[in-house]
Amino acid sequence: MGRMFGTDGIRGVANVELTPEIALKTGRAVAALLKEQQGSSRPCFVIGMDTRVSGKMLESALVAGITSAGVDVHLLGVISTPGVSFLIRHMKAAGGVMVSASHNSFQDNGLKFFNNLGHKLNSELEEEVERLYFQEADFMPRPSGKEIGRSYHGENAVEHYLSFLEGCAPPLRGIKVVLDCANGSLYHIAPSLLKQLGAEVTLLSGNPDGLNINVGCGSTNPAVLQETVRKVGAHAGLAFDGDGDRLIAVDEKGELVDGDAILAICGIHMKEKGLLTGDTVVATVMSNGGLEMVAREKGFQVLRTRVGDRYVLEKMLKGGYVLGGEQSGHVIFSHLLPTGDGLLTALQLLKVMVEKGVPLSELAGVMPRFPQILVNCPVREKDGWQENPRLAAALEQARKRLGTWGRVLVRASGTEPLIRIMVEGENYDLLHELSSELALMIGEELGQEKQ
């Protein structure tokens, strides 16, 4: 049996690797399983999507699959991934799906499924979906007549999500911000909300055409945002990704404020206000060691998980923690919403700025940083790299050379044919040398077909 789900749902080139047939069959399987779990005779599902040209194609296939399982569907149109998560709970739905490939280019698309709590499906349920998908005989129920599900347009439901965000926001009169919406899910929501809160908004990448999502813009390409913040004299810049679940900020000097810095800023503020449950922030193994240093100084701890916001949330829920996230800008305020939300994170960051009355550069400056080098290595096969003896020996030697304060991490990407290397330590020249050696070795061992 193949493996369909990666670290963030199902993803692939639209209409090639991720086809309407796959969307129909997986939608039917997920709907049938969640319907059975909920025990409702007539549950509903919600579907949202980003601005990719393939979104409507996959949405139509999902509608067919979900309604064939006897589940009604509410179509939200273009909305962020966290917006889908929020509206599942608000509408008491059995589950939902976001059609998006996040920060990937427009050719790709993906399916992110959620349960009735607005949480991404756990590994056990994903495995059950795959079992149903690949089994030879179709044992899933096929309701008929009036039991077939129906679809409805539910764009008005988005107003409830905006009301929720507004309730989490400070007044922003006198605050000047630059927004980079990546030509994605937040292109209409984010500027409208911030203007309503009183902010002066300069908008970048807010004209999606189905093909330009994430192209030279957004949280993975913030250079234009940095330049614009300096040019217009903004207090902050805010860059989202294609589906709006992550944020990379820019301070008033045009310097980047990544997810680690946001965790530090919000963690300190919540600790000071007595709101940081368990005096703990959850981060991943990729987060900079400087986050742990400032945490110790300010009286809280950092717990690390494997890479992926789902694993961050799992540890947060298990320990009852309220703040966690990733360096890439996925930040979760679990007491507000059970998933990363770029716009909610932006509002919380602006709230700290407003309440403390200090510039973002000063807030971000409290976190020291170890030099860190990240390298992505294209490979022919990303699975099984741990069994390569030459690479294992090189990693052991690299860790010895980095010493007590150094770290080296190698992992396979959950969504792309890549092996990712992260090297962190005190000596940048040594980091550059080690990362180059490891990347070369991975290329030799895994990057091309051996003759």
Catalytic residues: 102
Question: Alpha-carbon distance 366 to 345, whole Å?
Answer: 19
Please report, for residues 131, 193, 196, 234, 308, the alpha-carbon distance to residue 182 in angstroms, rounded to integers and kept in the order given: 36, 17, 21, 19, 21
* 262 neighbors 256 (Cβ within 8 angstroms): no
Q: How many residues would you count in the chain?
A: 451
| Dist CA 211 CA 231 (whole Å) | 28
Task: Tell me whether residue 99 is exposed, middle or buried, using C-beta atoms within 10 angstroms of its C-beta: 0 to 12, 13 to 18, 19 or more.
Answer: buried
- 362's tokens: 């000063």
Q: Hey, which residues does 110 pair with through a beta bridge?
A: 11
Taking the C-alpha atoms of residue 370 and residue 382, their distance in angstroms, rounded to an integer, is: 28
| DSSP per position, 355-412 | HHT--HHHHHTTS----EEEEEEE-S--TTGGG-HHHHHHHHHHHHHH-TT-EEEEEE
Strands (E), 2-146: 10-13, 44-49, 72-78, 95-99, 108-114
